[in-house]
Chain A
Amino acid sequence: MNKDEANRFLLKLSNATKTFIQSRTLLESNLFPVRAYMAVGLYNLFENEYDLLRKVINKKKPEKLGAECKTVNSEINQKTQFSTIVGYLVGREQVIEDGNIDEYGDKEYDAEKIMFLLDYWTRFSKAYRNDGQILVNDSQGAISILNKRDVKRFNDDLLDNDAKNSENLLKLAAVIQSYLYLLNYESRGGVFNHGPYQVDDELLVFREFIHLQKNTYKTTLNDDFHYKNITMTLRLRDVDVNLNEVGTLFVDPINYADKITGFNIYSSNSDPKPINVDDINKVSNLLRNRILYLYRDINRWDRRDKIIAGALQYSDLTCYAKAANIDYRHGLSKGVEERYLPKMMRQVTHEFMNKFAETGKLFTLIE
């Protein structure tokens, strides 16, 4: 990728990122200092991501990594790709806004890093996505990654629907997401959807919920929950299905329980095993208990704890290191901990975040 190509890509990403942020606005929460921890996390991505992904790519080409991620419950997916690359770019803009970009090398090195990351994402996407696109917006709201054989396998495995099961299934999806938002400090970590895959005149959608057993930065949860990941397959008729850049599912109409013509629910990773339908409500109740425990525990944390927890969540590159079998110890880098964490302890929002609402390009072009 040359500089002109990279700059065209940056302009396109500016628009896509603004569109994404404007549909949700910059998030704030009554429980977590989201804007502050996001800023710290993105500084951390900016400081660490390039070096790590260089190591990853030296061991595994983007094309191979992309092909390996065409599975159910892949930890690297469209959401992690978008968040990781855009996160780096926002972190870079924070540093530019602070007036510190020169400390990270000259303009040529800055350009080299951007070209590398965008080239990596392009090559990964060509192998990962069935249509080879990079942004979801370029695919009319679809994220198609599974091959035809896998789609057929899951479609053949669908159970017939009845009203009670579909209601319970959708309730479980709702409870899992409440749990995961809390477990991940108000971020979308652990939630991803892909599809829709056309099956005859109906649509097959995959709903993935991962890392359900993980602990928080400070909380050790008990081991009564036996599902590491949960995946739901839904076959739908007479609905509109759309996804955004991070794989959030939009189904219209929202009361789509009676539009489900087949479903299944699985646990585990790449070789999913079905969960007994009679256990769906039991799983929901277990998660409700965990939500209450977590909620009470997180309330005892101070602002610093919450910023560190969220920043670590936002800058976690472990899945990339794991994919290439590289030693990697996730944490805040020294510079982030000593300079940017104290800064964001004093601020609600980083100054750069105001630019999401302004006209003009979001990301500084390379020279």
Chain B
Amino acid sequence: MGWVKIGEGLNALFSSDAEVEGTVKEINSYSDSMKLYEEEPQNLVVLLRTAGVTVLAPIISLIKGIICTSGGTSSHLAIISREYRIPCIMAARLDHDDDLDKKRVRLLLRQQRGYVYLQEAQNE
């Protein structure tokens, strides 16, 4: 199975390169986070619409990658992702914006940009 690029944004890790694969879970609330806290999923990539970081507070150590559709490299989410050294893409523009939950993605961070790839078979 190949990978198809579905979006890109800012590399929150600045010029540091990184690459990570995982399964997407969109987080919009306290309940979303607490459910993940109980389940402790492996290879978790979270998708967020807002650039605040407190909603992730109890699960941050579980997270392997972050996609955020807003914010910038000085947003609190970006700051904390750097502190935990979690690959993070801010202000991401995504082709499959509303259909990523439970899909497998690869985040590729190169220089100032971050790219989101979707595992191809899931997109058929």
Do A and B pair up? The answer is yes
A272 at the interface (CB under 8 A from B): no
Q: Which residues of B contact A29 (CB under 8 A)?
A: 50, 52-55
Contact with A along B82-110 (1 / 0, CB 8 A): 11110000010000000000000000000
A253 at the interface (CB under 8 A from B): yes
Of the stretches A112-120, A143-151, A169-177, A329-337, the one at the interface is A169-177
Contact with A along B4-17 (1 / 0, CB 8 A): 00000000011110
Q: Which residues of B contact A185 (CB under 8 A)?
A: 54
B62 at the interface (CB under 8 A from A): no
Of the stretches A17-25, A132-140, A153-161, A274-282, the one at the interface is A17-25
Q: Which residues of B contact A31 (CB under 8 A)?
A: 30, 52, 54-55
> Which residues in window 76-127 of A have CB below 8 A to B?
none
- Nearest to B29 among chain A residues (CB) is A30
Of the stretches A244-252, A312-320, A351-359, the one at the interface is A244-252
> Which residues in window 33-73 of B have CB below 8 A to A?
33, 37, 48, 50-58, 60, 70-73
Establish whether residues A254 and B30, one from each chain, have CB atoms under 8 Å apart when the complex forms. Answer: no
Establish whether residues B82 and A28, one from each chain, have CB atoms under 8 Å apart when the complex forms. Answer: no
Establish whether residues A295 and B30, one from each chain, have CB atoms under 8 Å apart when the complex forms. Answer: yes
Q: Which residues of B contact A252 (CB under 8 A)?
A: 14-16
Interfacial residues, chain A to chain B (CB-CB below 8 A): 20, 22-25, 27-32, 34, 170-171, 173-174, 177-179, 181-182, 185-186, 188, 244, 248, 250, 252-255, 291-292, 294-295, 299
23 A-B pairs with CB atoms under 8 Å apart are: A23-B73, A24-B51, A24-B71, A24-B74, A25-B51, A25-B72, A27-B71, A28-B70, A29-B55, A30-B52, A30-B55, A31-B55, A174-B84, A177-B80, A177-B83, A178-B57, A178-B80, A181-B53, A185-B54, A248-B79, A253-B16, A254-B13, A295-B33
